[in-house]
């Protein structure tokens, strides 16, 4: 096995990195921000994403993988469509780990005509 797929789900609150074989059926490793840090507000930070990606690199190296396809995903739908701050740091860390990146693909779900967004709460104003 010399190729793998690395799925990166990056929101503003968390990051989840999932590495599978090229078919996508067998999971090699799954790492989330909560497995790296215990402070909840740091789960989506670039530092946490970098440390998570380093764990993924170690697991892929032990399996004999040297080239990867990266799929980046944001929450999407009626939620934010841009990946969180950890996505770029994770990709950089995967490159520094010595893995060859064949392709980077954005797989964020985009609505064709979505549900109505939540209405933002407006406090009672005193007049």
Question: Tell me: the pLDDT tens digits for 39-56?
Answer: 888 888 999 999 999 999
Say how many domains are in the chain: 1
What's the maximum distance between 2 C-alpha atoms anywhere in the chain?
68
Q: Which two tokens mark 62?
A: 């032990």
What average pLDDT does this structure show over 55-72? Answer: 94
Q: Could you read off the pLDDT of 95-117 as tens digits, one per residue?
A: 999 999 999 999 998 888 878 88
What CATH number does the domain containing 22 carry? 3.30.420.80
| Structural domain includes residue 20 | yes
pLDDT given for residue 21 in this prediction: 93
Task: Give residue 70's pLDDT band: very low, low, confident or very high (50, 70, 90).
Answer: very high
Q: What is the pTM of this model?
A: 0.87
- Helices 86-96 and 46-63 cross at an angle (nearest 10°) of 40
Alpha-carbon distance 46 to 84, whole Å?
9
Would you say residue 77 has pLDDT above 90? no
Domain that holds residue 84: 3-106
What average pLDDT does this structure show over 9-27? Answer: 94
């Amino acid at each position: 096995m010399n190729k793998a797929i690395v799925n990166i789900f990056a929101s503003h609150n968390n990051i989840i990195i999932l590495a599978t074989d090229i078919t996508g059926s067998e999971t090699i490793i799954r790492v989330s921000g909560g497995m790296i840090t215990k402070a909840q507000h740091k789960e989506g930070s670039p530092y946490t994403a970098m440390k998570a990606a380093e764990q993924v690199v170690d697991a892929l190296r032990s399996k004999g993988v040297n080239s990867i396809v990266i799929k980046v995903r944001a929450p999407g739908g009626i939620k934010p469509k841009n990946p969180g701050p950890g996505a770029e740091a994770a990709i950089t860390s995967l490159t520094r780990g010595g893995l060859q990146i064949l392709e980077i693909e954005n797989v964020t779900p985009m609505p064709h005509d979505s549900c109505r967004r939540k209405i933002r709460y407006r406090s009672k104003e005193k007049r």
